[in-house]
Amino acid sequence: MSEIMETIVTNKYPRTLIIKRALAFGIDVLFLGLVGFLLVSADEDLFLNIGTHGWWIGLVISTIYFGVADSRTFEGQSIGKRVLKIKVQKIDGNPLSVEEAILRCLTLSTIFYGSQIVNTVVDLMFGYSSPVVMIVAGSVIEAMAIGTFLVMLFHGQRLGYHDLLFKTVVVSKNAVEVPQRASSLKPILISVALAVTIIACQTWVTSYFKVPVFNYDNKILLGSDSPAEDLSISRNLIIKKGSKREFNVVSAYVPWTVYADNKECEQISRDIYEQVKKQNVSMDGEWKVRLRSGYDIGIFKSYKWRIYEF
């Protein structure tokens, strides 16, 4: 017996659709994580050598997955959407082509891989990562992530930025959408205003509790010969039973071959501490240096840590 197709002529969808979309995306993330785990398990040593530079692997896999699943090939249903009985299609009811689904996925991927993309581009252009660029890029990407959720919350058809850009809509499995579109300007303005407000409040709270975060390039701070990468400093504040404890944490990534040698890690951590302390003489209290190593392919990551106190 053929399925009865439901035609929707409305520009108001329930907010529960956002929950279904979030749950469906969560299921897809779990599936991609399983794919990443199986891929890494096949040759873990290979990915340990790649380290944190394998994020593009996850980007490629997730783009292919959503590009095929959200297209007409699988009727606009990824595994998560199929479980939640929803689908993505064009606003006029037609399915997406594979090319359109890939571009739609890449637009959304800027939220999840934006920092890595910006860091790679800046490194290729200037030979090192710029802390200022990374902080600005991080704030913009965070605003996009918050804004994408908020625009769905306030938009009548629960559309995200990627939906607005590619004229797509997520509906129930048996729905056929007609080209009647809710106003987009107002929810976009509201979402942008709220996203900026949330980030501003977050910045104020960070400043109020004196938890500054600094990023350094190891080539500038430690020299080009140092194996340490992705240096960052954070000031941690712990309030417990009325008492306050502050300590500074320096984090850095080292290759797996370096991490395996504890003596070398101790020397690197001391070098990092001495150089960072010179740059931040006003930061009193305990100091901890955390060296991490492992791999990150975007859809699956695994790290181990060594912590040294000074």
Count Cβ neighbours within 10 Å for each residue of 260-273 and write b for 16 or more, e otherwise.
eeeeebeebbebbb
pLDDT of amino acid 47:
94
Q: What is the pLDDT, as a whole number, of residue 286?
A: 82
67: its two tokens = 């590009």
The C-alpha atoms of residue 273 and residue 246 are separated, in whole angstroms, by: 17
Domain regions of the chain by residue span:
6-206, 210-309
Whether 24 and 31 have beta carbons less than 8 Å apart is answered as no
SS (H, E, C) the chain: CCCCCEEECCCCCCCHHHHHHHHHHHHHHHHHHHHHHHHHHHCHHHHHHHHHHHHHHHHHHHHHHHHHHCCHHHCCCCHHHHHHCEEEEECCCCCCCHHHHHHHHHHHHHHHHHHHHHHHHHHHHHCCCCHHHHHHHHHHHHHHHHHHHHHHHHCCCCCCHHHHHHCEEEEECCEEECCCCCCCHHHHHHHHHHHHHHHHHHHHHHHHCCCCEEEECHHHHCCCCCCCEEEEEEEEEEEECCEEEEEEEEEEECCHHHHCCHHHHHHHHHHHHHHHHHHCCCCCCEEEEEEEEEEECCCCEEEEEEEEEC
Q: What is the pLDDT of residue 238?
A: 66
pLDDT, position 7: 44
Which residues, in sequence order, are CB contacts of 55 under 8 Å at separation 6+? Answer: 113, 116, 296, 297, 298
What pLDDT score does 289 carry?
92
Angle of CA points 79, 83, 88, to nearest 5°: 65
For residue 126, what pLDDT is reported? 64
CB 109 within 8 A of CB 59: yes
Per-residue pLDDT of the chain (310 residues; tens, 9 = 90+): 344 444 444 555 666 788 899 899 999 999 999 999 999 999 999 999 999 889 999 999 999 999 999 999 999 999 999 999 999 999 888 899 999 999 999 988 877 787 777 777 777 776 655 556 666 666 677 777 777 777 777 777 778 878 888 888 888 887 655 545 555 666 667 767 776 777 677 666 655 555 444 555 555 566 667 888 878 777 776 666 666 677 788 888 999 999 999 999 999 999 888 888 777 656 677 889 999 999 999 999 999 999 999 8
Who contacts 42 (Cβ-Cβ below 8 Å, separation ≥6)? none
For residues 182 and 146, give the distance between their C-alpha atoms in angstroms, rounded to a whole number.
21
The pLDDT of residue 154 is: 74
